[in-house]
A and B are shown apart, each in its own frame.
Chain A
Amino acid sequence: MITAPLLLMTVLLPLASLILALSPRWQKIYRYSLPLLPVPAIVAGLTVELHNWLEMPWLLMGGTWGLDELRQSFLLLTSILWATAGIFAVGYLNTRKLRAFCVFWALTLSGNLGLIISVDLASFYSFFAVMTFAAYGLVVHEGSDEANRAGRVYLAMAVAGEMALLTGLLMAAQHADSVLLTELPAAIAESERSWLIVALLVAGFGVKAGLPFLHFWLPLAHPVAPTPASAVLSGAMIKAGLLGWLVTLPFGELALPAWGNTLVVLGATGAIGGAMLGLKQVRPKTILAYSSISQMGLITLMVGAAMANTSQAATLLSVIALYALHHGLAKGCLFLSTAVELPTERRFRWILCLLIGLPGLSLAGLPFTSGAAAKFAMKDALKPEQYDFSMADYLPLVMSAGAVATMLLIWRFLWALSRSVGTGRNHRFKSLGWMAAMACSMVAFWFLPGAGSGTGHAWFVLTPSESWSLIWPIMLATGIAVAWWIARGRNGSWFQC
C-alpha cells in the first residue's frame, strides 16, 4: 500500500524540486535541498515490498514500476551515493551557476533513480535518456575548454549508444510482443537474430558502463565534472549501464559461450588495460576514472560468465549486484576525498590520510572491508570448474592480475593526491558528506539487504588461506609501488606525514 507513493516520490521529488529554479532568490534553498532529494528512494529501497508492481497503463507504452532483489540493491547504492554526494555538494559548490548545477543535478538524479525502478521498457529507456542528457550539464559545468571538449565526446558517444539501444530494444520488444523488461530475455533467447540484439544491447549499455573501446568519453568526462558529480557519475551512473545489461540480456535463458568469451576478453582488457592507462595519469580524478573502467572490467568478467552458463546466472547476478554496491560506495568516497582539505595540524593529518586510503584498500580487497566480501563472492562464483567455455580457465589469472592492478592504481592515486591536496578548513557540509559516504561504505554496507550474501559465512571470520588470497596481491602491488618510488628518487610528497 505504501509502495505506490514511495515509488512515485522517488522520481517526482527530484523533478518537483525544479520549481525551486524558477527564482534566483530560491537558489540557496535549492542548494540545501540537494541531500534530501534521494531520501524517498532510500526509504523505498529499505521498506518497499519486493515484486509488488505498480501498474500505470496510461504511462508511455504502459508503465510498470517496482523493485526486485537486483533493483533494490541498485536503488540503495544509487540513492545513498547521491544523498552523500548531495551533502558534499552543499559545501563544495560556490554560487557561480549554482541554479544550473542544481537543475541538472536533480534531473540526472530523477533519471538515475527512475531507470532503476522501471520494469517496463519505455520508462526505463526514458529515464536512461533523461539521465544521459541531463548529465551533460554536470560534465560541462565548469565551462572550461577541457570540460566542453569532454562534453562533446560524451554527448557524441551517448547519442550513438542511445541509437544502438533504440534498435536493440525495438527488436527485442517486437519479438517479445511486450513492453515489460522481464519478458525481454526470453524473447531475445528465442529470436533468430539474438546475436544482433545482444550485440546492440551490449554496445548500447556498454558506452555507459565503460566497456573497453566504448570508454573514450569516460576518463575525459568523469574527472572534469565538479567533484560531487564525478562521484555519482563514476559510482552510480556507470552502474546504470550495468543494470541495463542485467535486466535485458538473456541470462539463464540461453547459453551463449561466444558472448561469454567475448565479454571475458573485453572485461580482462578493461580490468588490466584500464589500470595500465590509469598508471600513466597524474591527476587524481583521472586515475579514479580509469580505476572505474578497470573495476567495471572485473564485473564484465562475471557478466560474460553469466552469459555463457545458464545455471550459474542467478548466482552471478546477485554477486554482480554485491560487487556493484561495494564499488559504487567505495568509488564515491574516493572521488569525494579528492576535494577534501587536510587539517593544518600535523598530528591529525595521518588519521585523515589513513581514512582517505581506506576505501582504496577496500577496492583492492583488504580483509574486513566491503571489498573483501565482494572479492570472495566473485572468486567463488567464477571458479573455472563450473564453466565450460574456453576463456573460463583464465578467469582466476585475470582476477589476480586485476587485484594487483587495482592496488597499484590506488597507490598511484594516493601519490597523485598527495601532490595536489591542499590544507585548510573544510566546509561543514563537505566534511559531513565525506564522512557519511565513508560510513556507508565501511559500516552501513554490511547492513544493506543482500550485502551479506557473498561469502556464505560471517564477514569477520577469515581462514588463513582466505586471508592470504586477499593479502598477497596487496603486498605485491605495494612492493612494486615502493620499488618504483625509490627508483624515481623518492620524489613527490606522501601527504607530508
Chain B
Amino acid sequence: MTASALLPVFALMTSLTAAIIIFTLPEQKHRLRTVVNLTAALLKLLLVGLMIWGVFQGREYGVSFTMVPGVDFVLRADALAMLFAGLSAALWLLTTVYAVGYLEGSPNRSRFFGFFSLCVASTMGIALAGNLFTFFLFYEMLTLSTYPLVVHRGTQQALRAGRTYIIYTLTGGAVLLLGISLLHSFAGDLPFRPGGHFAGIGPDLQAPLSIVFVILIAGLGVKAAIVPLHGWLPTAMVAPAPVSALLHAVAVVKAGAFGIVRVVFEIYGLETANALGLLSGLAAIAAFTIVYGSVRALSQSDLKRRLAFSTVSQVSYIILGLCLLGPVGVAGGLVHLVHQGVMKITLFFCAGNYAETLGIHRIDELDGAGRRMPATSVAFTLAAFGMIGTPPLAGFITKWTMGTGALATGMDWVIAVLVVSSLLNAAYFLPVLNRIWFREQKDPWTEERQWGRFETSAWLLWPPLVTAAFLVLAGVLASASFSPLGWVELIVAREVGP
C-alpha cells in the first residue's frame, strides 16, 4: 500500500482506534483517557492537514476494494471531502477539549468518549466515502453512535428525545437505502464523480431518476433537518452541550447536508439535476426551511432550543446555495458548511458555559451575564453577529457570496430570503445580546459556581474563544487562499468548472 492509500485509512482509523482503546479503559483512568483522546484528535488533524496539502497540490488519495460483486467500498480524498474532513477534524479537537472539562467528575465518561470517537470516525468516513454505498455505511454508523450521546444523561427527557431521534434518523436511513438500491438497480454502483453520471440521459430514465432523487433527498433531509423532517433536532437539544455542539456543527446535520451535496454534484450533476427540474423544488423547500426555522426560533425561551431552530434555518443555506446553479452561488452554499459549523459550535459552547457555570438555561436568566462571564459573552456575541450576517464575520461572507451568485443566475427572490432571514436572525439574537450586556442581573443565579482561575474552567473557556477567532478570521481573511472561501473556490473550480 502506498501513502496515497494509507492516509485516508489512517485518518479514519485514528478515531476508531481511540474509540476501541477508550471503551476498554477503566472508568477511573481519567488522565490516560484524556491523553488518548487528545493524541488521537491531534494526530487526525495532522493527517487531514497532510491530505489537504496534497489535494491542494492536485494529488489523489484513495483506496477501494470490492465487498460483494457489484458493491465497492471506496474511500477517496478529494477537495470536497477535505472541506468536511477538515472541519470535522478541527472541531473534534476543540470539542474533545471542551467535553473533558464539561464532564469532569460525571459518571459514564468512558462510554461517552468511546461513542464520541466513533461518532467522529463516522463523520470522517462520510467525508471520505467515494460512493453512495460507503457513504450509507458511515451514515448509519453515525446514527447508532450518536444515540448513546443524546441519551447520555439518562433522564426521562433525554430518553424521550433519544427515541424521537432514533425513529427519525433510522427511518431516514431506511428511505436513503431504498433510494440507493433503486438507483443501483438501473444504474449500477456509482462512484462520486464531478459532473455526475447522468449527463444527457434519455427521456425514458428521466421519470425514475426524478423519483429516486426525491427519495434520496428525503432520506438525507432528515439529518439535514429540512422542514418537515426537522422534528428531532429541537428535541435532541437535551443532550450535553458538547454533543449538541457536535450534532449541530459537524456530525449529524452536516452529514445530511453533505450527502445532499454529493448526490446533487457527483451523482446527478448540477446541470442534469437542474434540467430535470429538481433543483427549483429543492430551492423552494430550502428557502421555506430557512424562514420557518427563524420564525420558530423567535418564540423559544430556552437558549439551546432557540439555537436549535436557528440550526434548522442555517443548514438550509447550504442546500439553497447548491440550487443557485452558478459557481458563485454554489460556493456560497458550500462555504456555509464550514461557516455555520464554526459559528454554531461557538454558540453551543457558550450556552454550555452559561449552563454549567451559572446554571442558566432560559434566555431571560441571561441578564447581566456579560459582566460575570465577559470572555464567553464576547465569543457568543461574535457568533451571534456572524449568524445575523454582519460584516466582516463569516456569516456575511456566506450571505454576500450567495447573494452575488443568486443575482448572477437571475434568482433575485433569493435576496429576499436572505434579507428576511437576516432580519429574523437579528430579531432573535439581538435581544439576547442586549440582555447579556446591557441588563442588570435580576435574580441571583442559584447554581452559580466558581470554577477555575478564570470566569469558568479553562477547558470550557478556550474552545469557544478559538472558534470565535476562527469565525472572525474566516470573514476578515476570506480572500486569502487558505480561508474556507478560498478552499471552496478550489472545489467549485474542480466540480462545476469556471
Question: A-side interface residues toward B, CB under 8 Å?
Answer: 57-63, 100, 122-123, 125-126, 129-130, 133, 137, 140, 143, 148, 151, 155, 159-160, 162-163, 166-167, 170-171, 173-174
Would you call B438 and A143 a contact (CB within 8 A)? yes
Which B413-462 residues sit within 8 Å CB-CB of chain A?
415, 418-419, 422-423, 426, 430, 437-438, 440
If A133-B390, A143-B438 touch, does A166 touch B479 (CB 8 Å cutoff)?
A: no
Complex A-B: 28 CB contacts under 8 Å: A58-B480, A59-B476, A59-B479, A60-B391, A60-B392, A61-B478, A63-B479, A122-B392, A123-B392, A126-B391, A126-B392, A126-B396, A129-B390, A129-B392, A148-B438, A159-B423, A159-B430, A160-B423, A163-B423, A166-B403, A166-B419, A166-B422, A167-B419, A170-B400, A170-B403, A170-B404, A173-B404, A174-B408
Q: Given A62, A133, A170, A173, which contacts B479 in the complex, CB threshold below 8 Å?
A: A62
6 residue pairs, one from A and one from B, having the closest CB atoms: A126-B391, A126-B392, A58-B480, A174-B407, A170-B403, A159-B426
Bound-state Cα–Cα, A100 to B426, Å: 22
Residue of A at shortest CB range from B440? A143
Known A137-B437, A170-B403; 15 more pairs at CB < 8 Å: A60-B392, A60-B476, A61-B478, A129-B390, A133-B390, A148-B438, A155-B430, A159-B423, A166-B403, A166-B419, A166-B422, A170-B404, A171-B407, A171-B415, A174-B408
If A122-B400, A140-B438, A148-B438 touch, does A163 touch B422 (CB 8 Å cutoff)?
A: yes
Bound-state Cα–Cα, A143 to B371, Å: 15
A124: min CB distance to chain B, Å? 9
A-side contacts of B392, CB under 8 Å: 60, 122-123, 126, 129-130
A-side contacts of B391, CB under 8 Å: 60, 122, 125-126, 129
Bound-state Cα–Cα, A133 to B415, Å: 22
Bound-state Cα–Cα, A100 to B419, Å: 31
Would you call A58 and B438 a contact (CB within 8 A)? no
A-side contacts of B173, CB under 8 Å: none
Bound-state Cα–Cα, A123 to B391, Å: 8
Interface flag for B144 (CB, 8 Å):
no
B-side contacts of A62, CB under 8 Å: 479
Would you call B415 and A167 a contact (CB within 8 A)? yes
A190: min CB distance to chain B, Å? 15
Interface flag for B477 (CB, 8 Å):
yes
Interface flag for B333 (CB, 8 Å):
no
Bound-state Cα–Cα, A167 to B172, Å: 37
Interface flag for B344 (CB, 8 Å):
no
B-side contacts of A151, CB under 8 Å: 438
A97: min CB distance to chain B, Å? 10
A-side contacts of B397, CB under 8 Å: 60
A-side contacts of B430, CB under 8 Å: 155, 159
Interface 1/0s, chain B 372-407, versus A by CB < 8 A?
000000000000010001111000110110011001
A-side contacts of B385, CB under 8 Å: 133
Interface size on B, residues (CB 8 A): 29
Would you call A60 and B479 a contact (CB within 8 A)? yes
A-side contacts of B480, CB under 8 Å: 58
Interface flag for B130 (CB, 8 Å):
no
Would you call B479 and A61 a contact (CB within 8 A)? yes
Bound-state Cα–Cα, A165 to B437, Å: 27
A-side contacts of B477, CB under 8 Å: 58-59
Interface flag for B196 (CB, 8 Å):
no
Residue of A at shortest CB range from B405? A174
- Chain B CB within 10 Å — which of A123, A143, A174 has the most? A174
Bound-state Cα–Cα, A173 to B391, Å: 16
Q: Given A129, A137, A159, A170, which contacts B407 in the complex, CB threshold below 8 Å?
A: A170
A-side contacts of B440, CB under 8 Å: 143
Bound-state Cα–Cα, A143 to B434, Å: 12
Interface flag for B475 (CB, 8 Å):
yes
B45: min CB distance to chain A, Å? 23
A454: min CB distance to chain B, Å? 35
B-side contacts of A58, CB under 8 Å: 477, 479-480
Residue of B at shortest CB range from A132? B390
B-side contacts of A100, CB under 8 Å: 437
Bound-state Cα–Cα, A176 to B40, Å: 49
Interface 1/0s, chain B 262-275, versus A by CB < 8 A?
00000000000000
Bound-state Cα–Cα, A494 to B372, Å: 48
Bound-state Cα–Cα, A143 to B368, Å: 13
B-side contacts of A60, CB under 8 Å: 391-392, 397, 475-476, 478-479
A117: min CB distance to chain B, Å? 15
B-side contacts of A155, CB under 8 Å: 430
B-side contacts of A173, CB under 8 Å: 404
Residue of B at shortest CB range from A160? B423
- Chain A CB within 10 Å — which of B403, B423, B426, B479 has the most? B479
Bound-state Cα–Cα, A60 to B485, Å: 10
If A140-B438, A174-B404 touch, does A57 touch B479 (CB 8 Å cutoff)?
A: yes
Bound-state Cα–Cα, A155 to B434, Å: 11
B92: min CB distance to chain A, Å? 28
Residue of A at shortest CB range from B427? A159
Bound-state Cα–Cα, A155 to B426, Å: 10
Would you call A170 and B415 a contact (CB within 8 A)? yes
Residue of B at shortest CB range from A155? B430
Bound-state Cα–Cα, A63 to B403, Å: 19
Q: Given A61, A129, A148, A171, which contacts B400 in the complex, CB threshold below 8 Å?
A: A61
Bound-state Cα–Cα, A59 to B485, Å: 12
Would you call B419 and A163 a contact (CB within 8 A)? yes
A373: min CB distance to chain B, Å? 37
Bound-state Cα–Cα, A166 to B422, Å: 10
Bound-state Cα–Cα, A384 to B440, Å: 56
A-side contacts of B423, CB under 8 Å: 159-160, 163
A-side contacts of B407, CB under 8 Å: 170-171, 174
B399: min CB distance to chain A, Å? 7
B-side contacts of A129, CB under 8 Å: 390-392
B-side contacts of A148, CB under 8 Å: 438
Bound-state Cα–Cα, A125 to B415, Å: 17
- Chain B CB within 10 Å — which of A58, A171, A173 has the most? A58
Residue of B at shortest CB range from A147? B438
B-side contacts of A140, CB under 8 Å: 438
B335: min CB distance to chain A, Å? 13
Bound-state Cα–Cα, A162 to B418, Å: 12
Would you call B399 and A166 a contact (CB within 8 A)? yes
Residue of B at shortest CB range from A61? B479
A58: min CB distance to chain B, Å? 4
Bound-state Cα–Cα, A100 to B440, Å: 14
Bound-state Cα–Cα, A129 to B477, Å: 17
Bound-state Cα–Cα, A160 to B426, Å: 10
B-side contacts of A123, CB under 8 Å: 392
B423: min CB distance to chain A, Å? 6
Bound-state Cα–Cα, A57 to B486, Å: 12
B397: min CB distance to chain A, Å? 8
B-side contacts of A61, CB under 8 Å: 400, 478-479
B-side contacts of A125, CB under 8 Å: 391
Residue of A at shortest CB range from B420? A163
B-side contacts of A59, CB under 8 Å: 476-477, 479
Which B217-247 residues sit within 8 Å CB-CB of chain A?
none
A-side contacts of B418, CB under 8 Å: 166
- Chain A CB within 10 Å — which of B385, B403, B438, B440 has the most? B438
- Chain B CB within 10 Å — which of A59, A60, A148, A155 has the most? A60
Which B81-96 residues sit within 8 Å CB-CB of chain A?
none
A-side contacts of B478, CB under 8 Å: 60-61
A495: min CB distance to chain B, Å? 37
Residue of A at shortest CB range from B388? A159
B-side contacts of A122, CB under 8 Å: 391-392, 400
Bound-state Cα–Cα, A151 to B438, Å: 11
Bound-state Cα–Cα, A129 to B392, Å: 8
A-side contacts of B415, CB under 8 Å: 167, 170-171
Bound-state Cα–Cα, A160 to B415, Å: 14
A-side contacts of B437, CB under 8 Å: 100, 137
